[in-house]
């Protein structure tokens, strides 16, 4: 289980406090209250998406068959697992409120770091939703296709590197199944 307050939370809290102090010094209490009011509205709009994404991740981790996920995306899945992770990330719709809970759920049900890294990198670089909704209309089809073609190997490479590094940083003790 993750700690609710870690070093990143502390750093962000310090940055918020310093920024609030600077805004207060420049604009007074009204300036700080205006920002807080705006951010509360922003938070109320984002909160349903965060809850839905976390719920989706929790449900996926309960629904997906652990053995099939481990076989398809686990440490012994090889290149196939990295390609499946890459393909899944490329077609995964939604923003970070969907992608990261799904990635966490995959890790929980047996996917390894490599396949999950390939999925997240693919979602970030290739994601069809952003390409269709934003990139093709703004940048054109030629640019989008070339960008996707050039980006295709990167999730697989990132996943392979992630798998390589993770296995060396966190070696598993040999089990009885490995000895036979």
Same domain for 54 and 84?
A: no
DSSP for 130-148 reads HIIIIIHHHH-HHHHHHHH
C-alpha dihedral sign at 121, 82, 106, 56: positive
Same domain for 93 and 153?
A: yes
Exposure string over 68-97, b if 16+ CB within 10 A, otherwise e: ebbebbbbebeeebbbbbbebbbebebeeb
Same domain for 85 and 117?
A: yes
Q: Domain residues for 34?
A: 7-63
Q: Which of 39, 40, 155 is nearest to 103 (CA)?
A: 155
The answer to the question of residue 178 being in a domain is: no
Predicted TM-score (pTM) of the model is 0.77
The answer to the question of residue 78 being in a domain is: yes
The answer to the question of residue 22 being in a domain is: yes
The answer to the question of residue 89 being in a domain is: yes
Helix count and strand count (H, E) for the chain: 10, 0
Domain count, the chain: 2
Same domain for 41 and 83?
A: no
Same domain for 162 and 91?
A: yes
Same domain for 83 and 18?
A: no
Same domain for 36 and 95?
A: no
> pLDDT digit of tens for each residue in the chain (180 aa)?
567 788 888 999 999 999 999 999 999 999 999 999 999 999 998 899 889 888 988 898 899 888 999 999 998 999 999 999 999 999 998 888 889 999 999 999 999 999 999 999 999 999 988 899 989 999 999 999 999 999 999 999 999 999 999 888 888 776 665 555
Contact present, 151 and 126 (Cβ < 8 Å): yes
The answer to the question of residue 130 being in a domain is: yes
- pLDDT at res. 145: 95
């Amino acid at each position: 289980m993750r700690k609710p307050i870690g070093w990143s939370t502390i750093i962000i809290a310090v940055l918020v406090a310093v920024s609030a102090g600077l805004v207060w010094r420049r604009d007074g209490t009204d300036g700080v209250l205006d920002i807080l009011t705006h951010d509360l509205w922003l938070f109320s709009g984002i909160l349903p998406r965060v809850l839905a994404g976390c719920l989706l991740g929790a449900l996926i981790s309960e629904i997906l068959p652990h053995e099939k996920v481990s076989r398809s995306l686990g440490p012994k899945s090889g290149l196939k697992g990295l390609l499946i992770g890459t393909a899944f990330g490329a077609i995964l719709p939604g923003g970070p409120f969907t992608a990261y809970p799904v990635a966490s759920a995959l890790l929980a049900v047996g996917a390894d770091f490599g396949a999950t890294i390939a999925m997240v990198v693919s979602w970030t670089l290739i994601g069809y939703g952003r390409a269709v909704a934003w990139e093709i209309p703004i940048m054109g089809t030629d640019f989008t296709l070339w960008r996707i073609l050039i980006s295709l190997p990167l999730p697989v490479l990132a996943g392979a590197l992630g798998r390589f590094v993770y296995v060396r940083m966190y070696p598993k003790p040999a089990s009885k199944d490995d000895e036979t």
